[in-house]
Amino acid sequence: MLEQFEKVGKDALAELEEVTDLTALEDYRIKYLGRKGQIIQMLSQIGKLPPEQKPRAGQLANKTKKEVAAAFELLKKTLLQSQEQTGELIDITLPGIPVDIGKTHVIMQTLSELLEIFGRMGFAVAYGPEVEDEWHNFEALNINADHPARDPFDCFYIDDNTLLRSHTSPVQIRVMETTKPPIRIIAPGRVYRPDTVDATHMYMFHQLEALVVDEDVSMVDMKTAIEQFIHAFFGPDTKWRFRPSFFPFTEPSAEVDLLLADKSGKENWVEMGGCGMVDPNVFDAVGIDNEKYTGWAFGFGVERLAMRKYGITDIRLLFENDLRFLEQF
Ligand code: PHE
């Protein structure tokens, strides 16, 4: 029994030499000095020895325990110290872990800028639902049942009377149904058309609608507002033009084109959207006196404005959410 005690002590001290870090040291503590550890087990066996052996065995066991415990404490202190010195616990001089910070999507940045500009020009903001009925999306806008724009191939229908709005003009109707003139609003929002996706077409995009209704509102007012906007958004030297066009809900109607240089410096006329004087039939549909009031409206493509401003040549980039693209704005 005494030899066995001696052996445990020797083994324990020898094994401690192999321990080089705090994790291994904890394993070591459990193996030898823990409640079920070899040294403690050894002590508990003393009681079972014949009485004449007990004193010597007790002495030896206690001596062994003390030696091992002392060697253990010493090594623990050394390891802790060196860990502090090499700064393994906490090194406040290390650079922090970088945190990626998100930012506003370029389309949302563009929309904020547009709302800003029109806010300065005295326009309030109005919103309408993306799921619309035929009355607001077509009928009240003087688009009759056999107009090609109502073709199911040109719209996302949900049922016979419900569709994803194909333009933001229904917001004009919703505002006029609930507000008495004078009206001066812009309505930003998403619109949906089942177009084949390519560099300039997407099945969902954003429009910015404008509507002004008051007494004596003229086409000159419309022209002035559009020019102020273009100069604020693209710069004061930007050239633009009206091109005669047709919309069922405006008369006369025009297309707004911008003269802008592409990457190679070549200038092109680019269509931004439609506009015109509110058709008297539209006023009739919403119960506004078309003898007393006149108005104008436009609907511009927000992606087109953003693409032209930032030189983006493919609309799909705006929706693929590739960080290498998004981070540039
Ligand atoms: N709603 C038309 C379109 O989507 C644009 C437009 C708006 C034209 C307002 C005239 C007046 O093409």
CA–CA separation, 119 and 298 (whole Å): 16
State the chain's maximal CA–CA distance in angstroms. Answer: 126
- Which backbone phi and psi does 25 adopt, to 5 degrees? -65, -35
* 191, 292: one domain: yes
Number of domains observed in the structure of the chain: 2
Q: What is the pLDDT of residue 183?
A: 98
* 254, 209: one domain: yes
Integer CA distances (angstroms), 263 to 30, 277, 307, in order:
72, 35, 12
Q: What is the pLDDT of residue 127?
A: 98
Q: What is the pLDDT of residue 42?
A: 81
- What is the position in ligand 1's atom list of the atom closest to the CA of 191? 4
What the block records as the tokens of 70 is: 């002392």
Look up residue 123 and give its DSSP letter: -
Distance in Å, CA 274 to ligand 1 centroid: 5
Residue 261 lies in a domain: yes
CA–CA separation, 19 and 15 (whole Å): 7
Look up residue 201 and give its DSSP letter: B
- What is the position in ligand 1's atom list of the atom closest to the CA of 299? 7
**For residues 209 and 171, is the Cβ–Cβ distance under 8 A?**
yes
Q: What is the pLDDT of residue 104?
A: 94
* 153, 231: one domain: yes
* 145, 234: one domain: yes
Per-10-residue mean pLDDT of the chain, 329 residues long, equals 82 87 88 86 82 85 88 88 72 85 94 98 98 97 89 89 97 98 98 94 97 97 97 95 97 95 85 97 98 98 95 94 92
* 66, 139: one domain: no
Q: What is the pLDDT of residue 276?
A: 98
- What is the position in ligand 1's atom list of the atom closest to the CA of 253? 10
For 115-171, what is each residue's pLDDT tens digit?
999 999 999 999 999 999 999 999 999 999 888 888 877 899 999 999 999 999 999
Residue 91 lies in a domain: no
The whole domain housing 221 covers: 106-326
Q: Is 247 in the pocket of ligand 1 (CB under 6 A)?
A: yes
Nearest CA to ligand 1 atom 7: 299
Q: Is 141 in the pocket of ligand 1 (CB under 6 A)?
A: no
Strand pairing of 124-125 and 183-192? parallel
CA–CA separation, 150 and 134 (whole Å): 9
- Which backbone phi and psi does 187 adopt, to 5 degrees? -135, 105
Amino acid identity, position 116: E
**For residues 213 and 288, is the Cβ–Cβ distance under 8 A?**
yes
**For residues 181 and 211, is the Cβ–Cβ distance under 8 A?**
no
Task: Collect all residues with Cβ–Cβ distance below 8 Å to 159 and sequence separation of at least 6.
Answer: none
Q: Is 118 in the pocket of ligand 1 (CB under 6 A)?
A: no
Does the reported pTM lie above 0.75? no
Q: What is the pLDDT of residue 88?
A: 64
Q: What is the pLDDT of residue 87?
A: 62
Nearest CA to ligand 1 atom 12: 274
* 122, 66: one domain: no
Strand pairing of 239-247 and 204-214? unpaired
Beta-carbon neighbour count of residue 309 at 10 Å? Answer: 15
* 170, 269: one domain: yes
* 173, 256: one domain: yes
Distance in Å, CA 298 to ligand 1 centroid: 6
Distance in Å, CA 244 to ligand 1 centroid: 13
Distance of alpha carbon 192 from the chain centroid: 21
Tokens 């273009």 — which residue? 230
* 63, 120: one domain: no
Residue 309 lies in a domain: yes
* 167, 81: one domain: no
* 217, 311: one domain: yes
Residue of 138, 163, 169, 272 best suited for mutating to test ligand 1, as the one with most atoms within 8 Å of CB: 169
